[in-house]
Amino acid sequence: MPNLVITGGSSGIGKATAQVFAQKGYTVFEFSRRQIEHAESSIRHISCDVTNEAQVTELISALNCPIDVLICNAGYGISGPVEFTDTEDAKQQFNVNVFGTLNVIKAVLPVMRKQHNGMIIITSSVAAVLSIPYQAFYSASKSALNALTLALRNEVSDFGIKVTALMPGDVSTGFTDARNKSNRGNNVYIHCDKAVAAMERDERNGMSTMQLANKFYSISQKRNPAPLYTAGLQYHLFVFLEKILPKRLSNYIVGTLYR
């Protein structure tokens, strides 16, 4: 049986993806901080904090088996005006979303290099290419993951390792309620509350987690995956327009959506 390692697999997109891969015949190692019991016998929960590099390295080594697919899905979001965001909150956003992803990739790469194959899929976001006001640090962390994907892809291609990122648009998950929202400065930045409310409304009416899970599986089966994928029909259009429109115009359009 092929093996999948997925982070952030205890809920939302990660949980649905773990279930899909298990149904497809994979043994799934689900890494997350939250304790959870999976109904599927082929999904093994492993308690792990991805920001703890030593713990990640130890747990990946303890698997002592081939790793066919790695999905780096652990992450969360913060919101609020840049000016009033605590620096420590911004650092923690990057610590989980970017450096947590890095810790897992660094632990898995020696395994994949030894077996001379494997696929790494990173959960990014449409917000990586369309920076969202009042989600600046979330957008920045996902943009960093896109850059990491593109660079790593070229570095490891000689070892038979494929690297790609999936950029979902709005998805209906517990991610919305888990967002760390700051109200500081909202009396100054008067559009903030309305903008965040609009984001959360779109998320709650977004794609299902199963749609994303099936997309992850589809990508994992590709012999020559693209560097970046977008999930959601309308988001394909948004990303395409961002590429062809002048940056001033595309950024202006995004801004008008959240005022």
Catalytic residue (choose from 32, 79, 124, 143):
124
10, 79, 139, 143: the active-site residue: 10
Closest CA to 170 of 244, 257, 86, 233: 233
* Gap between the Cα atoms of 47 and 235, Å rounded: 34
Q: Is 220 a catalytic residue?
A: no
CA-to-CA distance for 77 and 203, rounded, in angstroms?
12
Q: Is 157 a catalytic residue?
A: no
Decide if 10 is catalytic: yes
Taking 3-state DSSP, the helix, strand and coil percentages for the chain, each rounded to the nearest 5, stand at 50, 15, 30
**CA-closest candidate to residue 212, choices 229, 228, 224:** 229
CA-closest candidate to residue 149, choices 127, 128, 170: 128
CA-CA distance, 146 to 110, in Å (whole number)?
22
Of 26, 134, 138, 229, the catalytic one is 138
Choice among 134, 139, 142, 215 that is catalytic: 142
Residue 36, CA atoms < 13 Å, CB-side half-sphere: 23
- Whether 138 is a known active-site residue: answer yes
Any idea which residues carry the catalytic annotation? 10, 124, 138, 142
